[in-house]
Amino acid sequence: MLPSLFPVWNRPLVQGGHPPQSQVRRKAAFLAVSLVGLMAIASCRIPSETAQAQQAQPGQAGGPGGGRPSGGQGGPGGSGQGAPPAVETAIAETSSLDESPTYTGTTQPVRQASLRSQVEGRLLDLNVDVGDSVRQGEVLGRLDSSLLSAAVNQDRAELAALESQVAQAEAEVSDARAQAAQAEVELQQARLDSDRLQRLAAEGAISQQQADQARTAALSSEQVFLSAQERIRTRQQAVVAARRRVQAQQAAVEEARERQTYSVLAAPLDGVVLERLTESGNLVQPGNEILKVGDFSAVKVAVQVSELDLAQLRTGQPTRVQLDAYPGETFAGRVSRISPAADPSSRLVPVEVVMPNSGSRRLGSGLLARVQFQSQQAGRIVVPEAALEAGGEGNDSVVFVVEGTGAEAKAVARPVQVGDRANGRVEILSGLQPGEAYVLRSSRPLQEGESVRLSILSES
């Protein structure tokens, strides 16, 4: 057929072995036309052959032979069972149908204290900054204590002067006692003389005037003795007063010493420095705040709870806390304090929740926290209603449980007894245990014992 399509090629060449240029051009034109014709024929044959091949596929109704291929299902040329269905699993856990409301609050250290100046003075140094950990009693800074030292020295000098006054008063007491002793001796002698002269006057040996003079001298000596005793009591009272002044001054000295120790700034508790409010070189007055220290051994969250939910809260009740700073994580806490007074305008009650903070991840303050109070009733397993399938008899339900892992994972139908339903969820009274993986969604209906493959959304 090709020679008939290309007649030009059959003509003999001219003498000399080189065809004329007109003959070459005619051959090139015939060749181009022939190629275009072949392409047109091929474009017409390909669709028809494709249609015939599609009609000849086995198993297509209306094709040659019609119906299933002779090989049968599962044999050579059959469709086969296909890949295992993909399933999304969830872990069975106890919960409550009544979802508790979520309350928002802000994390705070469980304890917080301010380090304030107790005396006036210039801040010499401050050795810590925000974020530094401190121990209770640790020296964090110092104030200028020159004025405080001068006050201590002055009080000590006054104490020494008062102690000398006590010694002087005690010496005066000793003198008064000596004078009283001498007066007592003179009194006794005067009384003896008076008695003797009275007897002589009665016998007529002396005049009565001499006896009376002796009695008067005895009475005078008695008055001198009584005066000496009174002077002793007066001097003793002066000693007591001087000693009390000494005690008061000793207290003043101790106070001055104590004030001198206030120049040393020590950490009020174990924790972390939250804020630094002044710098070295500044003059501080008594009561001025220098540092804020927070104890992060635990973290507390204060939330405002409606008075309608107050009856279901108890001190020590467990809570679930979620922090926006750590998405996907849940922290356990407990109710530590419930305020006895509600806000009269909003009817909200302040409730404090405390979370332990002793793990490797230290929680800070100022984080947004979402708190849910757990029910005090015994929890039951709760699953979405979408996980249930109708059973074979009555109103029984079935949950598919995944047993095995990897390529060995299989779906096992588990009959369950259901309880109350609410909010698209249902209680499982029996048939499913906490911690078991059940099928939440499947790419197609499942069969008992069928192999499955877990999707990336499955819980582990």
Average pLDDT of span 36-46: 47
In a domain, residue 286? The reply is: no
- Asked whether residue 227 falls in the same domain as residue 298, the answer is no
Pairing state between β 410-422 and 425-430:
antiparallel
The reply to whether 167 and 191 lie within a common domain is yes
Asked which of 37-41, 328-332, 345-349 is least confident by mean pLDDT, the reply is 37-41
Q: Are residues 363 and 424 in the same domain?
A: no
Q: What is the pLDDT of residues 189-209, one digit of tens each?
A: 998 988 998 888 888 888 888
Per-residue model confidence (pLDDT) at position 78: 36
Predicted pLDDT of residue 441: 87
Length of the chain: 460
The pLDDT of residue 47 is 42
Instruction: State both tokens at 437.
Output: 């993986």
Does 140 reside within a domain?
A: no
pLDDT in tens, 255-272: 999 988 999 999 999 999
Max Cα distance, the chain (Å): 217
Q: What is the rounded distance in angstroms from the CA atom of residue 56 to the CA atom of residue 348?
A: 78
Least confident of 14-28, 139-153, 244-258: 14-28
Structure token pair of residue 30 = 């015939």
| CATH code, domain with 356 | 2.40.30.170
Question: Would you state the structure tokens that stand for residue 291, as one six-digit string?
Answer: 């540092």
Residues paired with 213 in a beta bridge: none
Average pLDDT, stretch 36-64? Answer: 42
Secondary structure of residue 208 in the 3-state scheme: helix
Looking at per-residue confidence, does 419 or 129 come out higher? 129
Write down which residue in 304, 339, 373 finishes a domain. Answer: 373
Roughly how many angstroms between the first and final C-alpha of the chain, as a whole number?
A: 73
Q: Which domain holds residue 228?
A: 147-261
- Mark whether 169 and 248 lie in a shared domain: yes
Predicted local distance difference test score (pLDDT) of residue 252: 92
Q: Which residue has the higher pLDDT, 54 or 346?
A: 346
The pLDDT of residue 388: 86
CB-based contacts of 333: which residues, under 8 Å, 6+ apart?
301, 318, 319, 320, 321, 353, 354, 355, 371
What digits encode the pLDDT tens for the residues 92-125? Answer: 887 766 667 889 999 999 999 999 999 989 999 9
User: Do residues 181 and 248 both lie within one domain?
Assistant: yes
Query: Is the pLDDT assigned to residue 348 strictly greater than 70?
Result: yes
Do 232 and 337 fall into the same domain?
A: no
Other C-beta atoms closer than 10 Å to the C-beta of 36 total 8
Q: Which residues lie below 8 Å from residue 20, measured CB to CB, with a gap of 6+?
A: 14
Q: Three-class SS of residue 270?
A: coil
pLDDT of residue 245: 93
Of 242, 261, 280, the residue at which a domain comes to its end is 261
Let me know if residue 131 belongs to a domain.
no
Residue type, 20: P
- Is the pLDDT assigned to residue 20 strictly greater than 60? no
Q: Determine the Cα–Cα distance for residues 153 and 256; give it in Å rounded to an integer.
A: 9
Lowest mean pLDDT across 35-49, 130-144, 146-160, 309-323 = 35-49
Write the pLDDT tens digit of every residue in 378-424. Answer: 567 888 888 888 654 445 788 899 988 888 889 898 888 888 887 78
Whether residues 312 and 240 share a domain: the answer is no
**Same domain assignment for residues 209 and 244:** yes
Q: Is residue 266 part of a domain?
A: no
Give the CATH number of the domain where residue 416 resides: 2.40.420.20
Work out the pLDDT band at 367, boundaries 50, 70, 90.
very high
Residue 39 Ramachandran class (φ > 0 left, ψ -120 to 50 alpha, else beta): alpha
Q: Are residues 352 and 307 in the same domain?
A: yes
* pLDDT value of position 70: 36
The residue out of 307, 342, 373 marking a domain boundary is 373
- Is 70 exceeded by the pLDDT of residue 36? no
Whether 362 and 384 share a structural domain? no
C-alpha to C-alpha distances, 162 to 68, 153, 234, 438, nearest whole angstrom: 126, 14, 18, 90
Same structural domain, 367 and 442 = no
Residue 182 belongs to some domain of the structure: yes
> Does residue 81 form part of some domain?
no
Question: Which residues are paired to 319 by β-bridges?
Answer: 333, 373
Q: What percent of the chain has pLDDT over 90?
A: 36
- Cα–Cα distance between 338 and 350 in angstroms, integer? 6
Q: Given pLDDT bands bounded at 50, 70 and 90, which one contains residue 81?
A: low
Residue 287 domain-assigned (yes or no): no
How many Å apart are CA 249 and CA 154, to the nearest integer? Answer: 11
**What pLDDT does residue 359 have?**
64
Q: Which of these, 353, 368, 303, lies nearest to 110 by C-alpha position?
A: 353
Same domain, 355 and 428: no
Confidence of residue 6 (pLDDT cuts 50, 70, 90): very low
What is the DSSP secondary structure assignment for residue 432, as one 8-state letter? -
Would you say residue 40 lies in a domain? yes
* Nearest-angstrom CA–CA distance, 194 and 215: 5
**φ, ψ at 183 (rounded to 5°):** -65, -35
Number of domains in the chain: 4
Strands 437-442 and 389-390: unpaired
Quote the DSSP letter at residue 229. H
